[in-house]
Chains A and B, each alone.
Chain A
Amino acid sequence: MKKTGMIAAVFGLALAATTAMAEHPGKESIAKSGYKGPETCEECHPGSAKGFMDTVHWKHASKVTNVDGVDPKKEYGMKNRIYVMCNGNDIVNNLKEIPKSPVTGKSKFTGCNTCHPGNHLSDVGSTGPEAEAAVDCLVCHSTDYDFRQRKASKNEKGQVVMGQDRSTKAALAIGKPTVKNCMVCHEAAGGGVIVKRGFSFTKDTDAHAAKGMVCVDCHKAKNHKIPTGHDPNNWANDNVFISCSDTSCHGGKPHKDADLNRHSAKVACQTCHIPRTGGAFAKDFTVWEQTPDKFYEPTTLKKEANETTPVYAWYNGTVKNTPHFIGPKGSRMDGKSKISPFKIFQGKAFYNKQTGELLSMDFAQPMSNGDTRAGVLSAAKTLGMKDPEKVAKEAVAGWQTIYFGSNHLVTKSKALFCANCHAPNGVLNFKDLGYSDKEIVRLTSPELFMKKLAEKQKEEW
């Protein structure tokens, strides 16, 4: 009772903080002198733009220590990784105008680094005074941002520039980032709304959103270092981490029911509380489909948020990483792993015939005319590979399976209860998880839950 009271109070506070957002103390000064970009903010928040340069959100990369086969001295992230959710990266898919469609004669801008709070002239990972002046503070901090400004165009020198809303009006609506501010980029990660993870954060899809919480109530940042978890396919991090069982959130024993708390040692909170996932489950980058506007898109099979059944695997926070598989490592016996839920995604793309490595693709050519090998060629050239023509011509198609963690879409009312796992048709495949036949007999016997569920049934009627 005491604990729930406390939790309620915390939620209450969070709610109050978000609904009754205090006026930004800098408002009057900004109204008087106008908004000139980060320098305006720096008058009262010195060092914030410089500090921002050293974050994942600016660099799209960081050192990575938990993944097989990566160089601990190098940095990895959207800037340079190659996998099959998006078969490229900021380097090979740098924002540009694609060749004109042979059908319509039209072009368009595309590039991964559109999801970067710079202006493209100062791009992913740039530094120095010019970069500091280019940060789009308002995309994360203004509730009155005009997104018509935030699009790519060519300047008088023919360079591709990413626009920003730098109006004083937008700068007068400053505050802590709202869900929308974060979702400007996160909602459409992976190639469109909901695609990568089925990530929807609304009162219908997430218990925390229903309480009025926002992203930064959990992802509390200092100096723009935003804490994250250990998703096997989100490598870059600011070296600060959060988990559901942090003492500042729920701790390790959040239930009145000791039977539930006992599971925390071996079963991740997410396993019971995120029983569904969503988004794309397969893509083919070797064959693109023509869309009604006559451009092309990778062939994609999609589901809505909460429409996909997860798979369960032991996970200790370290990641297996090969050309055909990226996913969790762990076992029942290592003393660190917990059974965790994942979305399995499979993607088809081109591999290097000589080395067996996964190749990346520039999307400009295939988007215009469907020629995917031309995309491989362009990427191989950008990366300075030896004999790019040969690489592209000989490239062989193959599949990669990747696991995405499931860390939002939290539910209390639909959380898994005893029989969801311990009945013979339960969601866990105990055998695959490494339990012996003898143990399985015990783990799938009503003996474990008969009394409890009978009582619950009585209560509920």
Chain B
Amino acid sequence: MKKAVSVMVLVAVAALSILCFSGIASAGEEIKMVGVITKIDIAGKDAKTATATLKDNKTEALVVITVNDDLTLDKFKDHRIVEGDEIRCKYETIDGKNVSKLFRKTAGC
């Protein structure tokens, strides 16, 4: 009986740690970049998602970012953010998509 309990505890601990690890693994890594928007694709006024292509200032690579947050979508819709704007962006790769966590114009003083 005593043994059974301790095995169960062990299994539970193992399960927990697996959960924790896998939790970390699937969360993906947050990547930061600064780049200029070369293209915005958004489907109309009620769109709940959009993509923006950024040209990375450091590598000149084109990165397609998926934007889902309402505030940024709204800025695409009313053109407060437009092609040519320079953006500071943080994103995570989830299921092959670069999903934006922060998407902000760099413009200063």
Contacts of B34 in A (CB 8 A): 292
From A184, A192, A194, A291, B80 is in contact (CB under 8 Å) with A184
B105 A146 Cβ-Cβ under 8 A: no
How far apart are B32's CB and chain A's nearest CB, in angstroms? 13
A253 to B2, CA, bound (A): 57
B50-109 residues at the A interface, CB under 8 angstroms: 57, 71, 74, 78-80, 82, 86, 104-109
A86 touching B109 in the complex, CB below 8 Å, given contacts A193-B104, A202-B71, A292-B86: yes
A188 B79 Cβ-Cβ under 8 A: no
B79 A291 Cβ-Cβ under 8 A: no
Which of A4-12, A61-69, A293-301, A392-400 lies at the interface with chain B?
A293-301
Q: Is A191 an interface residue (CB 8 A)?
A: yes
A145 B106 Cβ-Cβ under 8 A: no
A381 to B101, CA, bound (A): 45
Contacts of B80 in A (CB 8 A): 147, 184
A192 B82 Cβ-Cβ under 8 A: no
How far apart are A202's CB and chain B's nearest CB, in angstroms? 7
Contacts of B108 in A (CB 8 A): 191-192, 291, 297-298, 300
B71 A147 Cβ-Cβ under 8 A: no
Contacts of B82 in A (CB 8 A): 148
Q: Which residue of B lies closest to A289 (CB)?
A: B108
Contacts of B71 in A (CB 8 A): 202
Most chain B beta carbons < 10 A, residue from A145, A147, A298, A300? A147
State which size class the interface on B falls in: 10 to 19
Q: Is A363 an interface residue (CB 8 A)?
A: yes
A275 to B79, CA, bound (A): 34
How far apart are A439's CB and chain B's nearest CB, in angstroms? 45
A146 B104 Cβ-Cβ under 8 A: no
Contacts of B106 in A (CB 8 A): 192, 291
Q: Is A320 an interface residue (CB 8 A)?
A: no
State which size class the interface on A falls in: 20 to 34
A293 B105 Cβ-Cβ under 8 A: no
Contacts of A292 in B (CB 8 A): 34, 57, 86
From B74, B79, B109, A148 is in contact (CB under 8 Å) with B79
How far apart are A207's CB and chain B's nearest CB, in angstroms? 18
From B57, B74, B104, B109, A191 is in contact (CB under 8 Å) with B109
Q: Which residue of B lies closest to A143 (CB)?
A: B78
Q: Is A180 an interface residue (CB 8 A)?
A: yes
A146 to B74, CA, bound (A): 11
How far apart are B74's CB and chain A's nearest CB, in angstroms? 7
How far apart are A175's CB and chain B's nearest CB, in angstroms? 15
Contacts of B79 in A (CB 8 A): 146-148
Contacts of A110 in B (CB 8 A): 109
A184 to B36, CA, bound (A): 21
A192 B105 Cβ-Cβ under 8 A: yes
A458 to B25, CA, bound (A): 37
Contacts of A194 in B (CB 8 A): 104
A193 B105 Cβ-Cβ under 8 A: yes
Contacts of B107 in A (CB 8 A): 188, 192
How far apart are A279's CB and chain B's nearest CB, in angstroms? 13
A146 B78 Cβ-Cβ under 8 A: yes
A180 B86 Cβ-Cβ under 8 A: no
Contacts of B78 in A (CB 8 A): 144-147, 180
A184 to B104, CA, bound (A): 14
Contacts of A363 in B (CB 8 A): 109
From B57, B74, B109, A180 is in contact (CB under 8 Å) with B74
How far apart are A214's CB and chain B's nearest CB, in angstroms? 14
Contacts of A180 in B (CB 8 A): 74, 78
Contacts of A291 in B (CB 8 A): 86, 106, 108
How far apart are A351's CB and chain B's nearest CB, in angstroms? 19
Q: Which residue of A lies closest to B86 (CB)?
A: A293
Contacts of A191 in B (CB 8 A): 108-109
From B57, B104, B105, B109, A297 is in contact (CB under 8 Å) with B109
How far apart are B27's CB and chain A's nearest CB, in angstroms? 18
A381 to B34, CA, bound (A): 37
From B86, B104, B105, B109, A298 is in contact (CB under 8 Å) with B109
Contacts of A86 in B (CB 8 A): 109
| 16 new A-B contacts at CB < 8 Å, known A291-B108, A293-B86 | A146-B78, A147-B79, A148-B79, A148-B82, A180-B78, A184-B80, A188-B107, A191-B109, A192-B104, A192-B105, A192-B108, A192-B109, A292-B57, A292-B86, A298-B108, A363-B109
- Between A and B, 25 residue pairs with Cβ closer than 8 Å are A86-B109, A110-B109, A144-B78, A145-B78, A146-B78, A146-B79, A147-B80, A180-B74, A180-B78, A184-B80, A188-B107, A191-B108, A191-B109, A192-B105, A192-B109, A193-B104, A194-B104, A202-B71, A291-B86, A292-B86, A293-B86, A297-B109, A298-B108, A298-B109, A363-B109
A positions within 8 Å CB-CB of B: 86, 110, 144-148, 180, 184, 188, 191-194, 202, 291-293, 297-298, 300, 363
Shortest 10 CB-CB contacts between residues of A and residues of B = A191-B109, A292-B57, A297-B108, A148-B79, A147-B80, A147-B79, A191-B108, A193-B104, A192-B108, A147-B78
